[in-house]
């Protein structure tokens, strides 16, 4: 009986080892394929969850375009520092956002939402608390902002989207690449339900 148990344990160990190796090889193959296709995974609910294809240089920038953005410097953006402190997003991982406004456009930020040149952005109400009311959220001061040269206002339509409503305009140099939706889960940006 002991001999049979030892043989079964040895076989399970052998199969387990090969299963782990298989998963690692598959993971590496998928990663290389995604890299060759210029695909990135967005797992936040700022934009629909899924794969986005990066298309290279984003310049010249236009409002309404989807872009990959480097995380703004936490030293200049209190909300970004707060987000990194509480692990709301991983440090160093770029974001997928929309450009809502470029230099020369006017943004009005209020508790009830964001207006760009007089047009409201859907689902742009500024949230006071994180889901579950665990932390109060720092937001950019309410007011009207005329974007200067080199500034862009970022927007994401999802519930609890972390965009310029919280950290303000960012420098154009933060925009890394133009992006397009490649395969996403429609409506997934609304999975987190907003509280009061």
Q: Could you tell me the pTM of the whole model?
A: 0.85
pLDDT tens for each residue of 48-79? 999 999 999 999 999 999 999 999 887 778 89
Statement: residue 151 has pLDDT above 90: yes
Statement: residue 196 has pLDDT above 60: no
Contact 66, 175 (CB under 8 A): no
Q: What is the pLDDT of residue 1?
A: 54
HEC readout, 22-80: HHHHHHHHHHHHHHHCCEEEECCCCCCCEEEEECCCCCCCCCCCEEEECCCCCCCCHHH
Mean pLDDT of the chain: 91
Number of other residues whose CB lies within 10 A of the CB of residue 168: 22
């Amino acid at each position: 009986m002991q001999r049979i148990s030892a043989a079964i344990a040895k076989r399970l160990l052998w199969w387990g080892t090969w299963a782990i190796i298989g998963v690692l090889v598959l993971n590496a193959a998928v990663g290389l394929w995604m890299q060759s296709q210029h695909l990135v995974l967005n797992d936040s609910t700022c934009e629909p969850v899924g794969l986005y294809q990066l298309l290279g240089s984003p310049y010249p920038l236009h409002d309404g375009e989807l872009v990959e953005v480097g995380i703004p410097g936490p030293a200049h953006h209190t909300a970004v520092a707060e987000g990194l402190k509480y692990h709301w997003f991983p440090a160093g991982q770029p974001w997928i956002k929309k450009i809502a406004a470029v230099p020369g456009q006017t943004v009005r930020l209020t508790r009830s939402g964001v207006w760009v040149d007089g047009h409201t952005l859907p689902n742009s109400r500024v949230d006071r608390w994180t889901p579950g009311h665990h932390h109060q959220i720092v937001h950019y001061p309410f007011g009207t902002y005329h974007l200067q040269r080199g500034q862009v206002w970022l927007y994401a339509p999802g519930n609890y989207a972390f965009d310029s409503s919280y950290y303000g305009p960012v420098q154009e140099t933060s925009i890394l690449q133009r992006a397009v939706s490649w395969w996403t889960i429609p409506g997934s940006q609304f999975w987190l339900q907003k509280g009061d």
